[in-house]
């Protein structure tokens, strides 16, 4: 009983502190929530909704079976994941998080991704997309910085995923279930995409406000701007990245690559809301994402040196 109480104590204390801040400064933090909603509506929703819908739809169509079987040998050798896991990774590269995590959940539920490979598939398929790295962040720091971040991000994710699979046996090809009728695939994909993107919007709005609370709490400590931006990015990744890239240097790009690859609490909550249903344990997933983020940061620093 005491152990259960201790486990919940940090989260309880944090929730109580946030509630107290909302009661003491309602206007300030209501405005921050509104800013988070605007960020989601302007920067995330227009890109994420169509990509998420198409990701869900493609995984339900008959052609997915053929693509999965075609990708299976390469992904099995390199990452020890099945063709279905490889398809989820490819969809994630184009769509960004949390579309890859949602694809892993859907394919796992349909028996396309075996239990023993789900952690590897999830770590491989939880990437940011080009729309964010080459669009949003490149608009802040320049196209060269966006390209560096995109290459470093994928290098970190793929290299650690490659090492993760070295001691794992090659997955056995799982029989794919019969494809859904096209009208069912359309309606179910649309419904799940809308619900998922609404959940993402709520997470962004809340964690954007939480990040501002942390920044206010740390302000008396007079932390260096880079350190304050990194701490805020660990809560809500987008705002932290924007601050780091306002006057970018190699170290700023390295920290941005770390935040983008790890995701921060906001992105991790979005991803875990799907992945928890697959039976994956949280601690190993976080360890792998941290390792991927560290490699991405090192790669971004080295790639950025000629630019600055």
Predicted confidence (pLDDT) at residue 263 exceeds the cutoff of 60: yes
> CB burial class (10 A; 0-12, 13-18, 19+) of residue 63?
exposed
Q: Which of 120, 125, 123 is nearest to 97 (CA)?
A: 125
Q: What local confidence, expressed as pLDDT, does residue 173 receive?
A: 62
- The per-residue DSSP string of 107-176 comes to HHHTTSS-GGGHHHHHHHS----HIIIIIIIHHHH-HHHHHHHHHHHHHHHHHHHHHHTTTSPPPPPPPP
Question: Is the pLDDT assigned to residue 278 strictly greater than 70?
Answer: yes
Could you tell me the CA-to-CA distances from 72 to 108, 193, 256 in Å, in that order?
Answer: 16, 26, 32
Instruction: Work out the pLDDT band at 178, boundaries 50, 70, 90.
Output: low
Q: Is 70 exceeded by the pLDDT of residue 2?
A: no
pLDDT digits (tens, 9 = 90+) for 141-173: 888 999 999 999 999 999 999 999 988 888 766
Cis peptide upstream of residue 98 (ω within 30 degrees of 0): yes
Span 45-66, pLDDT tens digits: 887 788 778 877 877 777 777 7
Closest by CA to 168, choosing from 134, 124, 108, 112, is 124
Does residue 216 surpass a pLDDT of 80? yes
Annotate 172-240 with DSSP letters as a single string: PPPPPPPPPPHHHHHHHHHHHHHHHHHHHHHHHHHHHHHHHHHHHHHGGGT--HHHHHHHHHHHSHHHH
Whether the per-residue pLDDT at 185 is higher than 80: the answer is no
Higher pLDDT, 26 or 287: 287
Phi, psi at residue 222, to the nearest 5°?
A: 55, 50
Give 24's contacts (C-beta < 8 A, 6+ positions apart).
none
What confidence score (pLDDT) does residue 214 get? Answer: 82
Helix 143-164 to helix 250-262 angle (10° resolution) is 50
Among the residue ranges 63-67, 211-215, 243-247, 251-255, the one predicted with the least confidence is 63-67
Average pLDDT of the chain, as a whole number: 85
Residue in 234, 249, 253 with CA at minimum distance from that of residue 151? 253
Q: Is the pLDDT of residue 3 over 70?
A: no
Q: Which of 26-35, 93-102, 120-129, 257-266 has the lowest mean pLDDT?
A: 93-102
Residue with tokens 């490819």: 90
**pLDDT score, position 132:** 83
Please name the residues in contact with 149: beta carbons below 8 A apart, sequence gap of 6 or more.
133, 137, 253, 256, 257, 260, 300
Mean pLDDT calculated for residue range 210-223: 82
Distance between CA atoms of 63 and 182, rounded to whole angstroms? 12
pLDDT in the model for residue 287: 96
**pLDDT at residue 186 is higher than 60:** yes
Whether pLDDT at 84 is above 80: yes
Q: Write down the pLDDT at residue 288.
A: 96
């Amino acid at each position: 009983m005491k152990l259960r109480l201790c486990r919940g104590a940090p989260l309880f204390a944090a929730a109580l502190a946030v509630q107290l801040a909302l009661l003491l400064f309602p206007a300030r933090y209501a405005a921050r929530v509104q800013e988070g909603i605007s960020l989601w509506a302007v920067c995330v929703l227009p890109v994420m909704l169509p990509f998420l819908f198409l990701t869900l739809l493609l995984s339900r169509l008959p052609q997915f079976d053929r693509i999965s079987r075609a990708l299976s040998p390469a992904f099995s050798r390199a990452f020890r994941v099945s063709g279905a896991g490889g398809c989820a990774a490819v969809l994630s590269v184009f769509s960004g998080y949390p579309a890859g995590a949602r694809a892993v959940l859907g394919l796992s539920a349909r028996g396309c991704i075996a239990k023993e490979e789900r952690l590897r598939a999830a770590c491989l398929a939880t990437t940011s997309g080009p729309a964010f790295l080459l669009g949003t962040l490149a608009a802040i720091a320049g196209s060269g910085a966006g390209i560096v971040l995109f290459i470093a991000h994928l290098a970190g994710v793929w290299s650690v995923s490659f090492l993760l699979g070295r001691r794992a046996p090659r997955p056995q090809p799982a029989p794919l279930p019969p494809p859904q009728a096209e009208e069912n695939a359309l309606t179910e994909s649309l419904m799940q995409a809308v619900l998922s993107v609404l959940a993402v919007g709520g997470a962004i709005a809340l964690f954007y406000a939480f990040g501002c609370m942390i920044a206010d709490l740390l302000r008396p400590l007079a932390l260096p701007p880079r350190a304050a931006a990194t701490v805020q990015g660990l809560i809500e990744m987008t705002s932290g990245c924007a601050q780091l890239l306002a006057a970018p240097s190699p170290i700023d790009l390295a920290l941005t690559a770390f935040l983008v690859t790890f995701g921060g609490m906001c992105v991790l909550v979005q991803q875990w809301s799907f992945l928890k249903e697959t039976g994956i344990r949280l601690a190993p997933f976080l360890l792998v994402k941290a390792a991927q983020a560290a490699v991405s940061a090192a790669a971004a620093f080295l790639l950025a040196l000629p630019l600055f």
